Amino acid sequence: MKKALLIILMLTLSFSGKTESGYRLWLRYDPIPNRQLVTSYNNSISGITLSGTSGTISVAKEELINGLQGMLGRKVVATTAVINNSIVAGTPTSSNIISSLALQQQLATAGNEGFVIVTTKSNGKNIIAIAANNDVGVMYGIFHFLRLLQTQQSIKALNIASAPKIKLRVLNHWDNLNRHVERGYAGASIWDWHKLPGYIDQRYIDYARANASIGINGTVLTNVNANALVLTKQYLEKVAALAKVFRPYGIKVYLTARFSAPIEIGKLKTADPLDPQVQQWWKDKVNEIYTYVPDFGGFLVKANSEGQPGPQNYNRNHADGANTLADAVAPHGGIVMWRAFVYSNETPEDRFKQAYNEFKPLDGKFKKNVLIQVKNGPIDFQPREPFSPLFGAMPQTPLMMEFQVTQEYLGQGTNLVYEAPMFKEVLDADTYQKGKGSTVAKVIDGTLHDYSTSGLAGVANIGSDINWTGHLFGQSNWYALGRLAWDHTLTSEQIADEWLKQTFNTNPSFINTAKRIMLGSHEALVNYMTPLGLHHIMGTGHHYGPAPWVSNVGRADWNPVYYHKADEKGIGFDRTNKGSNALAQYAPEVQKQFEDVNTCPEPYLLWFHHVAWDHKMKSGRTLWEELCHKYYSGVDSVRSMQKAWETVKPMVDKERFEHVKMLLAVQEKEAVWWRNACLLYFQTHSKMPIPGGYEQPNQTLEYYKSLSFPFAPGNG
């Protein structure tokens, strides 16, 4: 009775609103309200026995104990002797019990990081075995087990084997040393460089726990627009302190390497990658880094892109640049992630084509420890982009995917947009490189071309805000990135379901409603921002809000008018063989899908065609009417999201309910702004009315053009 009261008290406290800042992410471990389930869990978990002496085992043990105590509402102690009905975790080397179980077959497929969880018997005792080949796999298994409990699944007859499909599962922080986060919408950088190495913020530990719980095993601490200072002693000491926190959680630290560092901090005259002195400088620098961080992961490099220095400054190519760094880190087992996000100022070529043009000829020229990191989309993280043609074009080079988790072009810090459906759309796209079924996912997980390494990166949305990501639902994107990097066959719905249950509660009515909101949110945003394949029509610099009229920015391809090409005849970028012929960069089967204006899937239409305003769409509407329809339905969707969120009020604590409610109201305003501004502007070209029956814009185009946001966050 007392226990029940205590649980009710704890539940009331957790719903009082005071403690629900969102800080705990999806690792809440609140008491499970379902008594029957708790009894059943208690019956299987009388004790826990973890074998192994590493830091990884000790953090995993702490997590398991905290998690169980929180959820079961009772004390849990670890024992060395196995008792009946208990959890036994370890590797065949660390634990006699694990090695005595016939798990060899499953463990053979678990690799370095995978795990096996089985309900079984050992010496007549009922146990749940969490087994792996390495301690880090044991830790991942424990996090998985805790997820089963948090999502309230049965643990009576477990038989799970899981291994990551992608080897490097990495966050990219675009964080500057002054704590400004480029494209960050959640406050300042979480790395408090000034107080490091002496002060270890609890947040670093919780960051590591959160990442480990979803399988992220690498973090690039610094912005790709890099500062060479991070490679100096003063900062390497700070980097080492972070690496020490992350190490037990299986997370390696990487840094961005500014290509001109040999000049800036090395006092050399050149950074020419083929200059022996430069090569030696990088080797020495790398050796030094490894004295601070013995398991340093390697470098991420943005070179010859948007003003960053690179090998082309010395008439060398990207392979020359990447290989020099790769040679330096290779003896230590390090890697180089070299970005393909390049576009040249001088080349008057369709920007869509430039990365392919530069990198395709270099296929096979990179050292073994180089991965080419390709941004999602040939242009730049737009709300919807066709997959980058590079994914179907470099069979001899491991290609990493770079997704943007932070919502630079997806409503920034104020819009609820669940990105998993967008990630999945690209991962499931077929490159046809080796015939049907050559999906982007198979390219990046290495199975299509048998790459020995593979990677997926996400540009982090994490900052110093109390709830980590600014918008509470931004957490779901961080979560989704990790889960998909581990297993890209998971569905967006499964991931949303897991995240919601762990982050909020398991009430089916709440879950159904919130899941519906999440699953429709990306399409809603596409509709009110860039429907039918429009792209890059947002405000200059900060990229906040619509500005399709902008035509005065220094270089052509920074102007929205370059991308939508609206005129009196129609709208859209002709990338067929009558236009820039970017389509030719895809396999013939992909070209076929997109090349005909009448059969091109409409979500991609204006990516590939300049389409007449009166072109008949599948719906029977003209293009202009369809554009109006999409913009209006985007706003309607946000209004439906608001209504749906209202209905979950009794099922969510006040603080988080209000947080989301207020942001949805902001999102509605922003959606209306996007719709009105874009339609009023495009109307100056189409000369067609917004069909009657729709609420008409309540402001003029001039008004929207006059808006300015000098302090919009995240600007570079």
DSSP string, 460-504: ----SSTTSSSSTTHHHHHHHHHHHHH-TTS-HHHHHHHHHHHHS
Kindly state whether residue 128 participates in binding ligand GCW, applying the rule CB under 6 A.
no
Among the options 30, 358, 408, 625, which is catalytic?
408
CA-based torsion, 272, 224, 404, 673: positive or negative = negative
Please give the Cα distance from 132 to 26 (Å, whole number). 24
**How far apart, in Å, are the Cα atoms of 609 and each of 279, 557, 570, 575?**
46, 17, 10, 6
Beta-strand relationship, 455-459 and 570-571:
unpaired
Classify burial at 538, counting beta carbons within 10 Å of its beta carbon; exposed 0-12, middle 13-18, buried 19 or more.
buried
Respond yes or no: is residue 380 known to be catalytic.
Answer: yes
Compute the least distance from the CB of residue 205 to ligand GCW, in Å: 27
Please give the Cα distance from 423 to 402 (Å, whole number). 10
Please give the Cα distance from 397 to 338 (Å, whole number). 11
218 or 248: CB nearest ligand GCW = 218
Compute the least distance from the CB of residue 211 to ligand GCW, in Å: 21
Compute the least distance from the CB of residue 422 to ligand GCW, in Å: 16
CA angle 271, 273, 274 (to 5 degrees): 120
180 or 639: CB nearest ligand GCW = 180
Kindly state whether residue 358 participates in binding ligand GCW, applying the rule CB under 6 A.
no
H helices of 648-690, in order, are: 654-686
Respond yes or no: is residue 306 known to be catalytic.
Answer: yes
339 or 522: CB nearest ligand GCW = 339
Kindly state whether residue 302 participates in binding ligand GCW, applying the rule CB under 6 A.
yes
303 or 627: CB nearest ligand GCW = 303
Compute the least distance from the CB of residue 326 to ligand GCW, in Å: 20
> Using the rule CB under 6 A, which residue among 30, 113, 175, 182 binds ligand GCW?
182
* Total interface residues for ligand GCW by CB under 6 A: 10
Please give the Cα distance from 395 to 434 (Å, whole number). 10
Kindly state whether residue 716 participates in binding ligand GCW, applying the rule CB under 6 A.
yes
Kindly state whether residue 183 participates in binding ligand GCW, applying the rule CB under 6 A.
yes
72 or 459: CB nearest ligand GCW = 459
Compute the least distance from the CB of residue 341 to ligand GCW, in Å: 5
Tokens at 101, concatenated: 């179980």
Kindly state whether residue 691 participates in binding ligand GCW, applying the rule CB under 6 A.
no
Torsion of CA 622, 627, 630, 632, to 10 degrees: -110
Among the options 320, 380, 402, 430, which is catalytic?
380
182 or 595: CB nearest ligand GCW = 182
173 or 353: CB nearest ligand GCW = 173
Compute the least distance from the CB of residue 308 to ligand GCW, in Å: 8
Classify burial at 600, counting beta carbons within 10 Å of its beta carbon; exposed 0-12, middle 13-18, buried 19 or more.
buried
Query: For residue 141, how many C-alpha atoms fall within 13 Å in the half-sphere facing its CB?
Result: 35
Kindly state whether residue 380 participates in binding ligand GCW, applying the rule CB under 6 A.
yes
Please give the Cα distance from 531 to 539 (Å, whole number). 17
364 or 716: CB nearest ligand GCW = 716
Kindly state whether residue 270 participates in binding ligand GCW, applying the rule CB under 6 A.
no
What is the per-residue binding string for ligand GCW in 492-521, x denoting contact by CB under 6 A? Answer: ------------------------------
Compute the least distance from the CB of residue 238 to ligand GCW, in Å: 21
Please give the Cα distance from 594 to 55 (Å, whole number). 52
Kindly state whether residue 173 participates in binding ligand GCW, applying the rule CB under 6 A.
no
Edge-first strand order for the sheet with 125-131 is: 47-50, 86-90, 125-131, 115-122, 159-162
Compute the least distance from the CB of residue 575 to ligand GCW, in Å: 20
Interior/surface letters 403-437, b for 16+ CB within 10 angstroms, e for the rest? bbbbbbbbbbbbbbbbbbbbbbbbbebbbbbeeee
Asked whether 374 and 355 are in contact (CB, 8 A), the reply is: yes
Among the options 62, 284, 288, 306, which is catalytic?
306
Respond yes or no: is residue 408 known to be catalytic.
Answer: yes
Contacts with ligand GCW in 315-344 (CB under 6 A)? 341
What is the per-residue binding string for ligand GCW in 216-255, x denoting contact by CB under 6 A? Answer: --------xx------------------------------
> Using the rule CB under 6 A, which residue among 26, 115, 140, 174 binds ligand GCW?
174
Contacts with ligand GCW in 97-116 (CB under 6 A)? none
Task: Give the H or E element holding residue 121.
Answer: strand 115-122
Q: Which residues are catalytic?
A: 306, 380, 408
Q: Give me the residues that bind ligand GCW (CB under 6 A), please.
A: 174, 182-183, 224-225, 302, 306, 341, 380, 716
